[in-house]
Amino acid sequence: MKWRCRRAGSATARGFGFIMLFRFSAAPMRGAALLAATCLSVAVGASAAEPSDGHAHKPKGHRVTVTEEMIGAGIVSSGVKLPPPPPATGTRDNPVPSWNNPLPLPIVIADRRNNRLLEVTPDKQIVWEFDSPNLTFYRGNDDVNFTQDGRTMVVNEEDNYDLHMLDYASRQLKWTYGMPNMRGRGEGYLNFPDDARLLPDGRLIVADIRNCRLLTIDPKTSQTLRQWGKPGVCKHNPPETFAYPNDFNYYPNGDYLITEIPDAWITRLSPDGHVVWSVRAPHVHYPSDARPAADGNIIVADFTKPGGVVIFNPQTGKVVWEYRVPEGEKALDHPSLAVELPNGNVLLNDDHRERVLVIDRQTKAFIWQYGQTDTRGHTPGLLWYPDSVDIDFYHDWKAALARKP
């Protein structure tokens, strides 16, 4: 595989516009037909690529070996004919009409090893899909998060070392940060980025796990506006240093919620970095993507086998609710995200068992499932390593589908 980046405009202080040109061999890759050639205009950090001016440049990052596991299924699609998406008319505070129990709204799944995003309705129809346009710059989508207006999706790719913003209506990538298959700590580089989000004021935040830092980036310029933590110093001492943070979330009042892997630290920081509280999540071995619950408690997935979900009070440290089954059909295997639904039930992705579930808070029964347990695939009803979900509060698919002839 060969690629090069050609500069397509004048440079800002730290950001370039690039046309990324790719050429692929004709060899098949894990059952996927690769694109013969594709071009995409993206905005990347200035150090994310070197201009082709004929002079040698010292690399600012380290190239990563792409394995068969990282490629997954290649470029695949469900094959479903997709309806036109409805406009974004809802918000998180005022969502579109509910489909009622057990899953009140459609969800978008980051189907990691199928290299795609997939939106599924409560009655399990596929209504929206984004397949990888090219495996070099879009591969292994790890997490997906809607922006507040529902018009854009922010995607991070841990083992492709980059971030994307995607227009929901057109299904077109409109911004990229980082260098595919290159890890680094300098400007424009990342090292296993996790859970990127766009703040209401337009800034983007991301947990850069292996650099042990939290970044705030201006997407307009691709400049780093703020860094909390120090690459190479992986120690829990917020906000000066962090130990492998794997989530950087935010509260409506502007506070931040940070998850650190060692010792299961969950920390709430004010916008200026003041520690509001910092506690170790109880009964959790590997905390993944802690989120605030509606009542002020914290919900966090335990990314282990058998995995679990814990809801705890951050003031007392006491467990409010927990799900964990040691073996069998109901056991979880490395769940990486648990979300409290508006009806109080728990939505989660069970990564290594190829399924997304809704668990009833009262009975702890599985009351909804997408994906066939322990079965990989990309056709309707199947997933491969579903690594994240987000709720679509914004698009009234219920009404849109009811209008179909």
pTM above 0.85, yes or no: yes
Note whether residue 250 is domain-resident.
yes
pLDDT in the model for residue 42: 38
What percentage of the chain carries pLDDT values higher than 90? 84
Binned at pLDDT 50, 70 and 90, residue 101 comes out as confident
Q: Is residue 197 included in any domain, yes or no?
A: yes
Task: Give me the mean pLDDT over the 137-161 stretch.
Answer: 97
Instruction: Tell me the pLDDT tens digit for each residue of 156-210.
Output: 999 999 999 999 999 999 999 999 999 999 999 999 999 999 999 999 999 999 9
- Tell me how far apart the alpha carbons of residues 156 and 140 are, in angstroms, rounded to a whole number: 9
* Among 9-23, 186-200, 213-227, 327-341, the least confident range: 9-23
In a domain, 68, yes or no: no
Note the pLDDT of residue 316: 96
In order of 70, 84, 274, the CA distances from 114 in angstroms are 10, 23, 40
Quote the tokens at residue 298.
């914290």
Residues contacting 216, CB < 8 A, separation 6+: 203, 204, 205, 224, 225, 226, 227
Asked if residue 265 has pLDDT above 90, the reply is yes
State the amino acid at position 287 in one-letter form: P
Better-predicted residue by pLDDT, 42 or 196: 196
Tens-digit pLDDT profile for residues 282-336: 999 999 999 999 999 999 999 999 999 999 999 999 999 999 999 999 999 999 9
**Bridge partner list, 290:** none
- What pLDDT does 29 receive? 34
Q: Which domain holds residue 144?
A: 80-402
- Binned at pLDDT 50, 70 and 90, residue 106 comes out as very high
Residue 86 has a pLDDT of: 98
pLDDT at 360: 97
- The enclosing domain of 381 has a CATH number of 2.130.10.10
pLDDT at 375: 98
> In whole angstroms, what is the distance from residue 133 CA to residue 164 CA?
13
Between CA 148 and CA 121 the distance in angstroms is 20
Q: Is residue 348's pLDDT more than 80?
A: yes
| Model pLDDT, residue 405 | 62
* pLDDT exceeds cutoff 60 at 44: no
Q: Report pLDDT for 210.
A: 98
For residue 155, what pLDDT band results from cuts at 50, 70 and 90? very high
Q: Mean pLDDT for the chain? A: 88
Mean pLDDT of 139-143: 97
Q: Tell me what pLDDT residue 60 has.
A: 82
| Helix (H/G/I), strand (E/B), else coil: 41 | strand
Separation CA 394–CA 106 (nearest Å): 10
Stretch 14-40: mean pLDDT: 32
Residue 2 lies in a domain: no
Tokens of 211: 């650099």
pLDDT at 252 over 90: yes
**89 in a structural domain:** yes
- Strand runs labelled E in 219-255: 223-229, 245-250
CA 23 to chain centroid, in Å, comes to 27
The answer for residues whose C-beta is within 8 angstroms of residue 340's C-beta and 6 or more apart is 291, 293, 294, 299, 311, 346, 347
Q: Label residues 63-91 b or e (16+ Cβ within 10 Å = b).
A: ebebeeebbbbbbbbbeeeeeebbebebe
Give a yes or no: residue 121 inside a domain.
yes
Q: Please state the domain count of the chain.
A: 1
Q: Check residue 217 and give its pLDDT.
A: 98
**186 in a structural domain:** yes
β partners of residue 226: 216
Which of 17-26, 221-230, 293-302, 355-364 has the weakest average pLDDT? 17-26
Both tokens of 322, joined, read 């927990």
Per-residue pLDDT for 112 more than 80? yes
36 belongs to a structural domain:
no
∠ CA 101-103-107, nearest 5°, is 160
